[in-house]
Amino acid sequence: MLSFYPGPSKVYPEVLGFIQEAFEEGMVSINHRSPRFEQLLKSTLESLHEKWNIPSDYTIYFISSATEAWEIVSQSLVERKSMHLYNGAFGKKWAHYASQIHPESVSHAFDLQASLSDISGHIDFSGVDTLCLVQSETSNGTGQLIQRSDYPLDPSSIIAVDATSSMGGIMLPWLEADVWLASVQKCMGIPAGLGLLICSPKALARAEKLQKRAHYNDILLMEENRKLFQTHYTPNVLSIFVLHKLTQYLPNLTEIHVQTLEKAKRLEDFWKNQESFELDFLIQNSTLRLPTVLALKGNPTVIQHIKHICLQNQIELGNGYGIWKENTVRIANFPSHTAADFEKLLNTLRHGL
């Protein structure tokens, strides 16, 4: 089955060999406090910094998932009040759980066709110490430009960004935020079960200021172990090993970024020229379309027919999510998806509809 589901999605075929290699080398059984693991973690972090062009003073932590990172941000970094700007289901969920931890936290929902820069001038940011944004909203396929200058925040405020469906697939403006979070089952092309939390020096300074150590996953405790090239709890060593091998195997993210945009354009051009399919882009403004997840809207009957045709040809497309569940279909465009994969998908659609 060829999966274009927007996560978990297609795994790099090389992953099978890396898993076998990990088994043969005994990596799946090593102690996470051992020198061997410390070397693996050190090498993995170095590879990510190099291949993804992450600033050298930003710190990478491995956790269980991006959704866990939502809680870590609230538990470790929010001083009193976070603000959440969202236009989709995952941003809304982040806002909900944050408000359970910090009742003074606030949120603002905005229109699907609007950008963050469009709405920021109409919002009161007073008292906000942590701004939480979603760069890649998987539920509807919107991709936002992240830049600090859009927000009249106090200089001491920090910005946290959910980039779950884009990290590893496109270049991210690391310096424009203090916390970036994601999971591996999308653009990183490996099975689910590992998350990344990337923090700026400013974010770590906030953690030091607050001195929160009430939770096992508080950043200060994570940082104590990271300095030893260890993790705070027993990690998914296999996934870390596979991620390490993949970052060494794959080109620099600048090259992957270009490939992602080229494939996205191919998808968009195809749908623009297929009026008989009676589908339209859910995100009308092309500059707001997430290049890694394309969402198309239409009559639920047409949507179901398209998914059925693809399944008959061993191709899985993504269902709609939340309020768009019945009338949208989502197509992932992750680095693991090759040009040949898209040729198979588009040929199936041409001949089946």
Q: What is the pLDDT of residue 32?
A: 92
What's the pLDDT score for residue 311?
A: 96
Q: What residues of the chain score a pLDDT lower than 70?
A: 275-277, 352-353
> Quick one: 338 and 223 in the same domain?
no
How much is the pLDDT for 276?
Answer: 62
Number of domains the chain is built from: 2
pTM of the model: 0.96
202, 217, 249 — which closes off a domain? 249
pLDDT value, residue 350: 87
Among residues 195, 228, 249, which one ends one of the domains? 249
Please state, as a whole number, how many other Cβ atoms lie within 10 Å of the Cβ of residue 332.
26
> In this structure, are 195 and 311 located in the same domain?
no
233 & 285 share domain: no
**211 and 224 together in one domain:** yes
Judgement on whether residues 53 and 124 belong to the same structural domain of the protein: yes
> Do 58 and 165 belong together in one domain?
yes
| Cβ pair 238, 19 in contact under 8 A | yes
Residues 241 and 272 in one domain: no
Our separate counts of H helices and E strands in the chain read 11, 15
Same domain, 82 and 134: yes
The enclosing domain of 327 has a CATH number of: 3.90.1150.10
Report which DSSP code applies to 182.
E
- Residues 275, 240, single domain; the answer is no
CB contact at 8 A, 119 and 148: no
The predicted structure's pLDDT at residue 274? 75
Question: Does residue 172 sit in the same domain as residue 308?
Answer: no
Domain encompassing residue 83: 14-249
Q: Could you tell me if 335 and 218 lie in one domain? A: no
Of 227, 249, 271, the residue that ends a domain is 249
Shared domain check, 299 and 183: no
CATH of the domain at 20: 3.40.640.10
CA nearest to 95, candidates 85, 110, 81? 85
